[in-house]
Each structure stands twice: as C-alpha cells, then as structure tokens.
Amino acid sequence: MDSLHHDPHGPVLLVGGYGTVGSALARAAAAHWPLLLAGRSPQRAHDLAAETSAEVRAWDLSDPTPFSATARAVVTLVNDPHDRVLTAALRGGVAYVDITRWTSRLQRALTLTTLAAPTAPVLLSSGWMGGVVPLVAAALAHELGGLDSVEVAIRYDLADRAGADSVEFMDRLGIEFEVLEQGRRHLVAPLSSTRTIDIGGHATKVTRIDTPEQFTLPLTLGASTATTRIGFSSTASTSALVGLGRVGFFRYARGPRWQGLRRRLLHAPGTGGRAQLRVDATGPAGQRRATVTDPAGQAHMTAVGALLGLRRVLGADGAPAPAAGVVFPEHTPQPAQVGAALEAGGVDMALSTPTPRDEAA
C-alpha cells in the first residue's frame, strides 16, 4: 500500500516532476521549497535534479510496488487512473494538487475525497492549463459582480511542445458530455458547434471539447452557461479533426488498437509555440473579456497554473491555506490578484474595456 506522511518541513512531491510540464514546475518551485521528483524513469531526471537540488525516486503508477515518502504537499502531473496518489495523500493528510484529470475522473476524485473526510486541502485544478481558465473566470466574475455565463476559446499551437499525457483527452472525442447552457443541462457532441473566434489577433476555428471547468464553474461561481472550445493554429488541421468527428472516427475507432493513431493526430511535439486562450464572461455589471498569452507555450502556462495551485494549498500566496476538503482554482480568495499572479509567472492577461449590461444586451 502506498504511504505518504505529512511533514510541514518536508519536500514538495512532484509526481511526474520531470516530464514536459513537471520540469517547468520543478524549476519554478525549486526557489521556494525542497523538491522530491517521482516517476517511472528516474534516470531521466538526472540533469533536472542537479539543476534544482531535488531528490529523485521511482514511482511507477502502473506498477503495484508500494511507494512511501514524507512531504509537505504533493502535485500530480501525470495521469493517475487508479487514484493512487490521491488515496495516499488522503490517508497521510498531505495537501494535494492535481492538474491532469478530465471531467469524469475529476468527478470521481470529488466523490472519493468527500467520502474520505480529508484532513488537508485537496485542490482539483484540472481546468484548462492547470487551472488558469477557472482562475481567470474568477477574476472576471469578481469584476462583474458575479458570473452569468462564461465562454472559453483555446488556440492550440501545433508548433508547441506537448507531453503525451496532455493529449489523453483525444480518447474522449467520441463521447458526448454534459454541459449547462442557459440554465439547462444537456449532452453535446465533441467537435460540434464550430465557429471562428479572434484569439489574440488570430482568427481561430474552434470546436466543442469536454473540459472540467464546464462542470465546476456552474457549481462554484453560479454560471448558467459554461462552454469551452478548442482550435489548432492551423485551420486546416482543425477542419480535418472536425471532419473525423463528423464521420464518427473517434466513436468507432476506440480501444487500444487505434490508440496510437488517435494520439498522433494531436501529439506532434514541436520546438515551442505560443499558448493563447480567450475567456468571455457576462455578469450583473456587463461583459468582460480576458485574452491570456504565454510566449513560452502551453506546458509553461500549465506549470504556472500548477505553481499557483501549490501556493494556494500551502497558504504561500498571501492568504491562509484553505480548510481541509475539496477546493477548485476559482475558489481563490484573491480574485483581483489573478492577473498579477499570472504576470509574475510570465503569463499575460489582457482585459477588454468593460461593456455595461444594457449595452451588451
């Protein structure tokens, strides 16, 4: 049985701490806390460990060999299909951050955590880009006096670097998912309701995708509509993906046999690109738009989100740590500081001029 023990002076445990996102987080976190990097191939972490003065240990979540460590907090940066890291953190009373779950797994983690009566905070931060999207939504809701609707559009740069775990959602593209629109819940198909939206000066064709903030934002901020769409930097690539969805490829080409092909459709790591997304919010005071840009790419933006989540559960962001139990990024006690926190991590959040509600109507 895996065993994690809380030590307020111990290291921060990063599970998957030397992958694409994990490496970026390790470099950012090393300035603040001692680190323990864990994963299935510890030899890959040699240079990073020397750079960050981190300890490295093996923990293969697909191998039943038990793992034991002490930590002040744990961040899961790889898929944990059997909830091993979460379960160990709950048993040991260790503050926990997870950025890797798609919606159904987040819902399972929410149930598991609630039933376990946790004694430390559990931050489920799997909203797009390590919780950056729900953080921005919280900032906009703060300015608007609430959140009636939120629409997210993501521009996925095909030149960017992407770890294999970041494209796990490709396996969900044949499964309908539930959303809330105008206060009514209904099922929508992935890769549907396509439109073209300007994201940071780029006309981007975007289409529906299942992401956790569409589940959490109505619960936490009261949004009656929450939608997320994604598109590639190449319109032709987005059109090809939508076309495959229309002919049922992702519905019928499921299972291990077609897994490699499904992943190759998206996982083509480049040398680096620019991560951009847009969040449009409507609230009692009107409308506001935020365009979020990270010139260092999506892995870096995700790592920034994970770092902010880690600071939150440790109470290292200028506010007391949350009480034991489940929290989401949008529960931030400092929504007015979200822009500054992102900027400190190298991520720009540009806000539009507010539109009063009567003019927006």
| pLDDT at residue 176 in the model | 92
What 8-state DSSP symbol labels residue 19?
S
Matching residue, tokens 């065993």: 3
Task: Give the Å distances, CA to CA, from 46 to 7, 17, 30, 38, 289.
Answer: 25, 12, 15, 12, 43
In this structure, are residues 172 and 189 in contact, taking their beta carbons and an 8 Å threshold? no
Q: What is the pLDDT of residue 95?
A: 98
Q: Which of 349, 357, 351, 337 is nearest to 148 (CA)?
A: 357
Give the 3-state secondary structure of residue 77. coil
Q: What are the two backbone dihedrals, phi and then psi, of residue 194, each rounded to the nearest 5 degrees? A: -75, 140
Q: Which residues contact 45 (CB under 8 A, 6 or more apart)?
A: 17, 18, 37, 39, 54, 56
Q: Which pLDDT score, from 0 to 100, does residue 270 have? A: 65
pLDDT score recorded for residue 263: 64
Residues of the chain with pLDDT under 70: 162-171, 253-271, 357-361
pLDDT at residue 273, rounded to an integer: 85
Q: Which residues pair with 149 in a beta bridge?
A: 225, 282
Phi, psi of 48 (to 5 degrees): -65, -40
- The pTM is what? 0.93
Contacts of 281 (CB under 8 A, 6+ apart): 137, 140, 141, 144, 147, 149, 150, 151, 287, 288, 289, 290
Q: What is the pLDDT of residue 162?
A: 64
C-alpha distance across the termini of the chain, in Å:
57
Q: How many CB atoms lie within 10 A of CB 187?
A: 9
| Residue bearing tokens 């939504």 | 137
Residue 240 is predicted with a pLDDT of 85
**pLDDT value at residue 269:** 61
Helix ranges restricted to H, 30-102: 46-52, 84-92
Q: Is 41 exposed, middle or buried (0-12, 13-18, 19+ CB in 10 A)?
A: exposed
